[in-house]
Chains A and B, each alone.
Chain A
Amino acid sequence: MAEDKSPQTAESGILLSVNDVSKAFGEHVIFEGLSLEIREHETLAVLGKSGTGKSVLLKLLIGLLTPDKGTILYRGKSMTDMGEKELTKVRKNIGFLFQGAALFDSMTIGQNLETFLLKHEVLSPKERQDKIARALDVVGLPDVIDRLPSELSGGMRKRAGLARSIVVEPELILYDEPTTGLDPITALSIAELINSLQFKLGIASVVVTHDLPTAFAVSDRAVVLNESKKIYDGKIEEMEKSGDPFLVKYLQASIMDKGRKSAYIQELKKLPVSEAI
């Protein structure tokens, strides 16, 4: 996609930029005037309560949804103005790990990966098989090529979904709740995988998650959404310093070390039931 790089964006290394985007479903406003940037090789965590439109943001970033207002630029080019062919080229460079992996359940894992390759690259069958084997190797699933998604565990399905995303060698991967529903050890292995993809292959990532330890483990930067607005955009370690009341509460509720947990429970006990809920 080197031909798509405008001098300005190539210089600044911005892959995607969201400019003053608004999105609503009927009367339910998801975002109003949202702006953010995703840079090359960085991992950005998108945090916020359920229903704040984090997954909607990912679908906007890959062009599955279109904004009501504002623009989303991929390397300086507006995605809303792109035709189907151009959007397909962009999508080759953006991988997407869906919340439930979204593997095609009538196909084997190998066929799932091959479907993506067939549509995005012209390769010989031998080259295709090599790429599929390599992608499955990267995610630590070298022996599942002939298995159906229903024969895999939740964690394995997530890994297989990730293999399907990286098989076309994207420069950015969007992760929708990559560790939700997984045990802490499997969640940690997924986080390690996200890190290794960034370190080894230089792939940038946007990780939408509720799992704060995962967000801290993988990301350089965090964006926090609340009530249709972005309330924080900065280094993930400095979130606590922001002083935003929602963010403080969010962090307190999420990071439950022993001392904080008991202090938080004590605080909850003081509140009337309706307020505590």
Chain B
Amino acid sequence: MLPTEEAKPHHHLLGHSEEIKPHKKEHAFHKLVTVFGGLAVFSWRFVKSSIIPPYEIKETFRQAYQVGIRSLPLVSVVSVVIGAVLTMQSTPTMTKFGAGAYVPIMVAVSVMRELAPVLVSVIVGGRVGAGIAAELGSMRASEQIDAMEVAAIDPFRLLVVTRIVACIICLPLLTVYADTLAMIGAFVVNKIESGMSGQLFINTVTDSVTFPDYLPGILKTAFFGYIIGLVGCFMGFNSKGGTEGVGKSATDAVVTCSLLIILSDAVFVKLTILFWG
């Protein structure tokens, strides 16, 4: 066989793969544009529906219970452990530099500025975002959303608006709760390792932690809550392909939520430093 002939299949394969690559890229780009375009339209619809009455107050409270109260056990464990672990990790190094007394301040600032808001949002995003996407996805697959329209119930108002509002309200409250529990965890470790009294711990923290340390952290979680609710509802509401689609929606919701929370956090940190230092 001639070398040129031998090369043919190779060329063919190369050519084939070269043909596929742009197609795949195009497909991924198309998907990305579709998702973010869809999120923008969904977002605008949410703004309109949340302003114009009627309001589904009872259902919003029910959803707030699902998002807030049901997330408490997970948030509690994670927060106490974060406060405790951060104290354990930083005490030896800080003591080496003669700054052992500053451990509570360092932990408080780290937790309130960054760790509690982001960790709570990512954890709740995983639990609630996946839950919302799976619930709405299975409602779509079992035609319950269509049945609502037949019954003259606006499914967007009842299912989407209530869940997003519940997330916006609950995330800041969960963050305040997580800040408090993380400091309790930090205090317990500090007490065991350095013997610091409760009064001294509280005085050290309250004297040093200022408004820019805790307020931006709490406020940005309202936006993270909005992302969790929006993405979870969008993925579930637009779920396709029956039960397989439900699983995919839940996974997509968790991945997109986590990504958007981390990316928007970078923007919030920059803005916080810019305005409050």
Once the chains bind, are A96 and B152 in contact (CB under 8 Å)?
A: no
- A226 CB to closest chain B CB, in angstroms? 25
A115 vs B149: C-alpha distance when bound (angstroms) = 12
In the complex, whether A98 has a CB less than 8 A from a CB of chain B is yes
Once the chains bind, are A91 and B152 in contact (CB under 8 Å)?
A: yes
Once the chains bind, are A99 and B150 in contact (CB under 8 Å)?
A: no
Within 8 A of A (CB), among B142-162: 142-144, 146-153
A62 vs B151: C-alpha distance when bound (angstroms) = 11
From A36-44, A69-77, A100-108, A231-239, the one touching the partner chain is: A100-108
A119 vs B147: C-alpha distance when bound (angstroms) = 13
A64 vs B146: C-alpha distance when bound (angstroms) = 7
Once the chains bind, are A105 and B144 in contact (CB under 8 Å)?
A: yes
- A62 CB to closest chain B CB, in angstroms? 6
Contact residues in B for A116 (Cβ distance below 8 Å): 151
Once the chains bind, are A59 and B146 in contact (CB under 8 Å)?
A: yes
Contact residues in A for B143 (Cβ distance below 8 Å): 98-100, 102
Once the chains bind, are A119 and B149 in contact (CB under 8 Å)?
A: no
Binary interface encoding of chain A residues 99-129 relative to chain B, with 1 for a CB under 8 A from any of its CBs, else 0 = 1101111000000000110011000000000
Q: How large is the interface on B (under 10, 10 to 19, 20 to 34, 35 or more residues)?
A: 10 to 19
Once the chains bind, are B151 and A115 in contact (CB under 8 Å)?
A: yes
Contact residues in B for A96 (Cβ distance below 8 Å): 147, 150
A91 vs B151: C-alpha distance when bound (angstroms) = 8
- Look across to chain B and name the residue whose beta carbon is closest to the beta carbon of A165: B150
Which of B146, B149, B150 is packed against the most chain A CB atoms within 10 Å?
B150
A119 vs B16: C-alpha distance when bound (angstroms) = 58
A119 vs B158: C-alpha distance when bound (angstroms) = 13
Choose among B146, B152, B153 the residue that contacts A102 (Cβ–Cβ < 8 A).
Answer: B146
Which of B146, B149, B152, B153 is packed against the most chain A CB atoms within 10 Å?
B152
In the complex, whether A19 has a CB less than 8 A from a CB of chain B is no
A19 vs B62: C-alpha distance when bound (angstroms) = 45
Choose among B142, B144, B146, B152 the residue that contacts A119 (Cβ–Cβ < 8 A).
Answer: B152
A84 vs B153: C-alpha distance when bound (angstroms) = 11
Binary interface encoding of chain B residues 117-149 relative to chain A, with 1 for a CB under 8 A from any of its CBs, else 0 = 000000000000000000000000011101111
In the complex, whether A88 has a CB less than 8 A from a CB of chain B is yes
Once the chains bind, are B151 and A102 in contact (CB under 8 Å)?
A: no
Once the chains bind, are B142 and A88 in contact (CB under 8 Å)?
A: no
Contact residues in B for A98 (Cβ distance below 8 Å): 143, 146-147
Contact residues in B for A91 (Cβ distance below 8 Å): 150-152
Contact residues in B for A100 (Cβ distance below 8 Å): 142-143
A105 vs B149: C-alpha distance when bound (angstroms) = 16
Once the chains bind, are B142 and A102 in contact (CB under 8 Å)?
A: yes
A11 vs B146: C-alpha distance when bound (angstroms) = 32
User: A59-B146, A120-B151, A120-B152 are known contacts; what are 7 more A-B pairs with Cβ within 8 Å?
Assistant: A88-B152, A96-B150, A100-B142, A102-B142, A104-B144, A104-B147, A119-B153
Q: 8 closest pairs, A vs B, by CB?
A: A102-B147, A102-B143, A88-B152, A119-B152, A98-B143, A116-B151, A96-B150, A102-B144
